[in-house]
Chains A and B, each alone.
Chain A
Amino acid sequence: MRAALVLQEVWTGLRRNMSMVVSVILVTFISLTFVGAAMLLQGQINQMKGFWYDRAQVAVYFCNEGDVGPNCTGEATQEQIDEVTATLETDAIAPFVQTVEFEDRAQAFENFKDQFEGTQAAEFATEESMSQALRVQPQSPQDASIVAEATSSLPGVLEVQDQRRLLEPIFQALNTASLVAVSVAVIMLVAAVLLISTTIRLSAFSRQRELGIMRLVGASNRFIQTPFILEGVISALIGSVLASGAVLALVQWGVQGYLAPLLPTYPLVGIDATLLVIPVLLAIGVLLSGVAAAVAIRRYLRV
């Protein structure tokens, strides 16, 4: 009996305020889509960081015949190469180094050809133009600078390249994008919360007479406020479901359907990660709208 009465009140409220309800649905839809996109983007960034940082090494290039550098005096000698290797094995540096691999010209040439396959660079390169190098895998990405500092001024070293640093701008851009998405999401969520409380106030205002009578005859506060809270929660829930659909579609067709074939070797966010994001979106929608509606209706419960 009571549940039926409450649902009937909810339905009346939703119908009376149709245009406001639609705007609540749309605003929650857009804001939660941004929240979902930001979460997935952050997930993507973390995934890529893991993927690339594992592969990123510190390359210590040795001088070639004719190279100009502060430590270069012609081609690096075997002694110079041994000294750099020994430096990396000293007690001060060794804890920060995982592996050290020497790469001779033949290997470097192979790698270069692989990397630039099909481009003009691969055709013009010769084995002689390659540098000998030490490929150092630091213990952790932060240790790369220690390796670089220890080796860059040793004789025979042309250049020390921290490959991770090359990736920084890309992650910076992605981070900025996700920050922008989060900011937009937050602003939209604030708008959604305000809109929900306005809608609920309007709904309560149009039912002021009923509310007064309910209070007069002793309807409990919970009984009075439940229809309004449900009204807000249902509108926001519809918006959240739409947002979940949008995020799912974005990943299914945008990322997996379009991006994945273009970037076959990159790890991209998939449907499984999206399925983790959806409950979060639904929870945010329900919680925010429930709290906003409860706060908005409170002043009508004053006795």
Chain B
Amino acid sequence: MRTLSDVILFDNVTKTYSRKARPALGGVSMEILKGEFVFLVGASGSGKSTMIRLMMREEQPNSGDIHVLGQRLAAISNSKVPFFRRNLGVVFQDFRLLRNKTVYENVAFTLQVIGKSRGFISEAVPDVLKIVGLAGKSSRFPHELSGGEQQRVAIARAVVNKPPILLADEPTGNLDPATSAGIMALLARINEGGTTVVMATHEASIVDAMQRRVIEVDSGKIVRDQKTGAYGSKLSTTPSGKQVTVNENEPMLESEDAEEAGA
């Protein structure tokens, strides 16, 4: 089943949070290939954030195996996890920038803590800021930037070390549609450079516009995996995809618990 081009492989993965009877993920199997752009879609609490956290080994599955970049995650000891993480860029809805550091310092911080040389940092940081379109704002502080710009800083920080995989958990969740489109264009450009991108979202318009692979998760199971798809093609009728899925009517309770568990 595994091929050399797998970068992420889930093999019958089950994850249960101790406080809940129903598993967050129940026997999920899937593979993501090198260079793919994959949307994980589903309602809040469907399990897509759990999948992202499992991929970055912030959590471990109760059963099943996860391979990322050829490494079996269960085999990585806790003290080696930081070194594994250096292969992943991660972006969140809430940007997670350091308020007391400038744009430049926020990006450079990543490289500093993993021990890159001063020379490398002074070359890589301006390069990546240019890619995300913030070349002129490197000495601004996060609070002086718009939400979209802050997310660009977060993306710059995630990719400055040129990781093979970029994980994005609701990266446009706090942004207006126009700004979101800019962020999606940026992610698409990063993907074109060869980086595998996995993005969890519940914004139908974005998924519909991109026409990439879609994995739909519902109640901890994969219910759809389409090579190029729209957000709600299974249940919605309109091609533009205003989501009228059953998932939307699910109670929101579990999502809050899952968010907490990750914090």
Do the two chains bind?
yes
Find the B residue at minimum CB distance from A223: B113
Q: Contact partner of A216 among B83, B85, B115, B118, CB < 8 A?
A: B85
Q: By the criterion CB–CB under 8 Å, are A217 and B96 in contact?
A: no
Please encode chain A, from 135 to 157, with 1 for each CB lying within 8 Å of some chain B CB and 0 for all others.
00000000000000000000000
CB distance from A15 to the nearest CB of B (A): 13
Please encode chain A, from 216 to 234, with 1 for each CB lying within 8 Å of some chain B CB and 0 for all others.
1111110100000000000
Q: By the criterion CB–CB under 8 Å, are B113 and A219 in contact?
A: yes
Q: Which of B38-89 contact A (CB under 8 A)?
A: 57-58, 78-79, 81-86, 88
Count of B interface residues, CB-CB < 8 Å: 26
Q: By the criterion CB–CB under 8 Å, are B98 and A1 in contact?
A: no
CB distance from A2 to the nearest CB of B (A): 5
Q: By the criterion CB–CB under 8 Å, are A213 and B96 in contact?
A: yes
Q: By the criterion CB–CB under 8 Å, are B98 and A210 in contact?
A: yes
For A214, list chain B residues within 8 Å (CB): 113
- B109 touches A (CB below 8 Å): yes
Q: Contact partner of B86 among A1, A210, A218, A221, CB < 8 A?
A: A218
Please encode chain A, from 1 to 12, with 1 for each CB lying within 8 Å of some chain B CB and 0 for all others.
110010000000
Cα distance A2–B116 when bound, in Å?
8
Q: Contact partner of A1 among B58, B85, B118, CB < 8 A?
A: B118
Please encode chain B, from 102 to 146, with 1 for each CB lying within 8 Å of some chain A CB and 0 for all others.
000000011011111110000000000000000000000000000
For A254, list chain B residues within 8 Å (CB): none
Find the B residue at minimum CB distance from A221: B79
Given contacts A218-B86, A221-B79, A303-B81, contact A213 B115 (CB under 8 A): no
Q: By the criterion CB–CB under 8 Å, are B115 and A2 in contact?
A: yes
CB distance from B10 to the nearest CB of A (A): 19
Please encode chain A, from 288 to 303, with 1 for each CB lying within 8 Å of some chain B CB and 0 for all others.
0000000000000011
Q: Contact partner of B96 among A212, A219, A220, CB < 8 A?
A: A212
CB distance from B247 to the nearest CB of A (A): 29
Find the A residue at minimum CB distance from B97: A213
Find the B residue at minimum CB distance from A214: B113
Given contacts A209-B98, A210-B98, A303-B57, contact A220 B112 (CB under 8 A): no
Q: What size tier do the contact residues of chain A reach?
A: 10 to 19
Cα distance A220–B99 when bound, in Å?
22
Q: By the criterion CB–CB under 8 Å, are A1 and B96 in contact?
A: no
Q: Contact partner of A218 among B78, B82, B99, B118, CB < 8 A?
A: B82
- B157 touches A (CB below 8 Å): yes
- A113 touches B (CB below 8 Å): no
- A49 touches B (CB below 8 Å): no
Find the A residue at minimum CB distance from B101: A210
Given contacts A2-B112, A303-B58, contact A219 B82 (CB under 8 A): yes
Q: Which of A196-249 contact B (CB under 8 A)?
A: 209-210, 212-221, 223
Which residue among B78, B82, B99, B109 has the maximum number of chain A CB atoms within 10 Å of its CB? B82
Given contacts A1-B118, A2-B115, A213-B98, contact A220 B109 (CB under 8 A): no
For B85, list chain A residues within 8 Å (CB): 215-218
CB distance from A112 to the nearest CB of B (A): 77
CB distance from A297 to the nearest CB of B (A): 14
For A215, list chain B residues within 8 Å (CB): 82, 85
For A216, list chain B residues within 8 Å (CB): 85, 90, 96
Cα distance A217–B84 when bound, in Å?
10
Find the A residue at minimum CB distance from B57: A303
Find the A residue at minimum CB distance from B56: A216
CB distance from B240 to the nearest CB of A (A): 35
Please encode chain B, from 163 to 187, with 1 for each CB lying within 8 Å of some chain A CB and 0 for all others.
0000000000000000000000000
Please encode chain A, from 75 to 109, with 1 for each CB lying within 8 Å of some chain B CB and 0 for all others.
00000000000000000000000000000000000
For A1, list chain B residues within 8 Å (CB): 112, 115-118
CB distance from A294 to the nearest CB of B (A): 14
Cα distance A213–B113 when bound, in Å?
10
CB distance from A104 to the nearest CB of B (A): 82
Cα distance A212–B114 when bound, in Å?
14
Please encode chain A, from 267 to 303, with 1 for each CB lying within 8 Å of some chain B CB and 0 for all others.
0000000000000000000000000000000000011
The 8 lowest CB-CB distance pairs between A and B, nearest first, are A218-B85, A218-B86, A219-B113, A217-B110, A303-B81, A220-B82, A218-B82, A5-B112
Given A215-B85, A217-B114, A220-B83, 7 more A-B residue pairs with CB atoms under 8 Å apart are A216-B85, A217-B86, A217-B110, A217-B113, A218-B85, A223-B113, A303-B58
Show the binding face of B for A, using Cβ within 8 Å: 57-58, 78-79, 81-86, 88, 90, 96, 98-99, 109-110, 112-118, 157, 161
Show the binding face of A for B, using Cβ within 8 Å: 1-2, 5, 209-210, 212-221, 223, 302-303
